[in-house]
């Protein structure tokens, strides 16, 4: 069939067909704040007014997002997770927030968040109940999408508890995506479809990417190093499947940033920030912006690291090797640059040196002739001009990470397009 290209464009069938949810959103990984990991389902405002899930909590976070530099750093979505709903729908079957904890209603909260130049995210579930037992969206996808749009919601996290069957799970995720699209409002669609499907059936990421802007694949994050490790190990173990699925418009979501909470040491916080940048992960914090310590705040607002996360090429990084308890990860960046993370997975002893020959990076293309290497984490440090035969040495604390950026100079620009990993071992001191 000979179809003119203008007709293909009009039909939206140009080369990107069926690759990403075509709502023009999440061209880089979304950034924001979400209440779940830090505030869970705390509904007891009588006992704990400061920390319960209420409109006040989200208004306070919105205020701080602006006054404390979060918005300027790129964090945009203030998002509500589970436990915002009343126990029942209203007489017209519409969702309604808990009247005591959200007395002004979600529409007013959205207005408030928008008045700060931010966006509002909300939570629902594909099944008959949310994970915490509040009314789910099953049977009401169009009505709920319409309600969210009429309130001025900008992002929906759609959970997968109580879904009934795998067919209903898939159908529900597809239907909510279509229903959101039909509203005509720009609403980022965050899914947990593969996370719920994976124990029973291999998810079809081509399809998931057609319907979702980002998607959880794995367990909920906890405030612990064990949790971070399990996410990194799972991601590296499944990278052949999930890395090619990520790109502008659709991202793998390893879950919230827990930096600034209780469970991670300073080095482990650095590891989370560095690896979430390498993984092109949505940067969705769950912490208390009212009391976060200045070091964690600076880490979360580190411009150079955020720039890696938000790189416009939109390629997710991958683990290249794991040798002697060192992991090497890399992520191709726009302009032929490369981000590199060296994680020291040894949980005993002192900081250890890792020697990194330039020829080993980006299949030897990142520093084909000359390149400049800059360390971004744990501290900003220029590591000078390198060439294809030189090597650098980084010192990495136990459970910490060195994050580097390699920028080619004077050589031909190149593209690191294929994913060929893992590669084999290298010298380690
Ligand atoms: C699931 C999700 C979490 C959170 C809770 C809320 O466990 O994976 O991220 O939304 O439900 O109940």
pLDDT of residue 22: 85
Distance CA 111, CA 178 (A): 25
The SS3 assignment for 377 reads strand
> Residue 408 pairs with which residues in a beta bridge?
371
Q: Which residues of the chain are under the pLDDT cut of 70?
A: 1-19, 411-429
pLDDT of residue 19: 65
pLDDT of residue 416: 42
Place of tokens 């995210």: 121
Specify whether the CB–CB gap between 141 and 130 falls below 8 A.
no
Nearest ligand 1 atom to alpha carbon 255 = 9
pLDDT of residue 419: 39
Distance CA 106, CA 103 (A): 9
What Å distances lie between residue 257 and 156, 272, 330, CA to CA?
18, 7, 20
Nearest ligand 1 atom to alpha carbon 40 = 6
Ligand 1 site, residue 192, Cβ cutoff 6 A: yes
Q: What is the Å distance from ligand 1's center to 406 Cα?
A: 37
Angle at 29 between CA 27 and CA 33, to 5 degrees: 130
Residue of 131, 158, 160 best suited for mutating to test ligand 1, as the one with most atoms within 8 Å of CB: 131
Q: Express each pLDDT in 99-112 by its tens digit.
A: 999 999 999 999 99
Distance CA 340, CA 318 (A): 10
Q: Would you please indicate which residues are annotated as catalytic (active-site) residues?
A: 159, 220
Ligand 1 site, residue 159, Cβ cutoff 6 A: yes
Residue of 34, 42, 81 best suited for mutating to test ligand 1, as the one with most atoms within 8 Å of CB: 81
Count each helix (H run) and each strand (E run) in the chain, helices first.
14, 16
pLDDT of residue 117: 98
Secondary structure element (H or E) that encloses residue 108, with its range: helix 106-115
Put residue 363 in one of left, alpha, beta given phi > 0 → left and psi -120 to 50 → alpha. left
pTM: 0.92
CA-closest candidate to residue 31, choices 405, 377, 301, 338: 301
Ligand 1 site, residue 358, Cβ cutoff 6 A: no
| Residues in contact with 298: Cβ distance below 8 Å, sequence separation at least 6, in sequence order | none
Ligand 1 site, residue 83, Cβ cutoff 6 A: no
CA-closest candidate to residue 326, choices 298, 345, 352, 312: 345
Ligand 1 site, residue 124, Cβ cutoff 6 A: no
Ligand 1 site, residue 37, Cβ cutoff 6 A: no
Q: What is the Å distance from ligand 1's center to 210 Cα?
A: 23
The domain defined by 318-418 folds into: Immunoglobulin-like (2.60.40)
Tokens coding 228: 């971070």
Specify whether the CB–CB gap between 255 and 217 falls below 8 A.
no
Domain residue spans of the chain:
5-309, 318-418
Tokens coding 278: 């390498």
CA-closest candidate to residue 146, choices 121, 172, 180, 122: 180
Q: What is the Å distance from ligand 1's center to 408 Cα?
A: 42
The correct answer on CATH 2.10.109.10 for the domain covering 5-309 is no
């Amino acid at each position: 069939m000979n179809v003119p290209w203008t007709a293909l464009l009009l039909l939206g069938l140009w080369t990107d067909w069926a690759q990403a949810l075509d709502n023009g959103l999440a061209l880089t990984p979304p950034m924001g704040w979400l209440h779940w990991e830090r505030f869970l389902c705390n509904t007891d405002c009588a006992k704990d007014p400061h920390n319960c899930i209420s409109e006040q909590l989200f208004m306070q976070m919105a205020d701080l997002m602006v006054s404390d530099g979060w918005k300027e750093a790129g964090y945009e979505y203030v998002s509500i997770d589970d436990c915002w709903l009343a126990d029942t729908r209203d007489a017209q079957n519409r969702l309604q927030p808990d009247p005591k904890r959200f007395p002004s209603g979600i529409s007013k909260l959205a207005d408030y968040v928008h008045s700060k130049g931010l966006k509002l995210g909300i939570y629902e579930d594909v099944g008959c109940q949310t994970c915490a037992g509040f009314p789910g969206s099953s049977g009401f996808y169009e009505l709920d999408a319409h309600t969210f749009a009429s309130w001025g919601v900008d992002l929906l996290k759609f959970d997968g508890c109580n879904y009934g069957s795998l067919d209903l799970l898939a159908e529900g995720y597809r239907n909510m995506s279509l229903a959101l699209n039909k509203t005509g409002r720009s609403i980022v669609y965050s899914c947990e479809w593969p996370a719920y499907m994976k124990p029973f059936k291999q998810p079809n990421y081509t399809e998931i990417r057609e319907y979702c802007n980002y998607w959880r694949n794995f367990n909920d994050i906890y405030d612990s190093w064990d949790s971070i490790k399990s996410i990194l190990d799972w991601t590296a173990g499944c990278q052949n499947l999930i890395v090619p699925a990520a790109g502008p418009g659709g991202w793998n979501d390893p879950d919230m940033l827990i930096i600034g909470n209780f469970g991670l040491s300073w080095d482990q916080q650095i590891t989370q920030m560095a690896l979430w940048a390498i993984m092109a992960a949505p940067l969705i914090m769950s912490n208390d912006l009212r009391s976060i310590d200045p070091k964690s705040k600076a880490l979360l607002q580190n411009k150079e690291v955020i720039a890696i996360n938000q790189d416009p090429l939109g390629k997710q990084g991958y683990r290249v090797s794991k040798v002697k308890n060192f992991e090497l990860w890399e992520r191709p960046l726009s302009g032929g640059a490369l981000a590199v993370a060296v994680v020291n997975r040894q949980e005993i002893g002192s900081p250890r040196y890792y020697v990194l020959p330039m020829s080993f990076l980006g299949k030897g293309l990142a520093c084909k002739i000359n390149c400049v290497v800059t360390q971004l984490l744990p501290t900003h440090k220029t590591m000078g001009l390198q060439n294809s035969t030189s090597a650098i040495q980084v010192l990495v604390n136990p459970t910490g990470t060195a994050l580097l950026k390699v920028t080619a100079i004077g050589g031909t620009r190149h593209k690191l397009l294929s994913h060929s990993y893992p590669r084999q071992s290298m010298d380690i001191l």
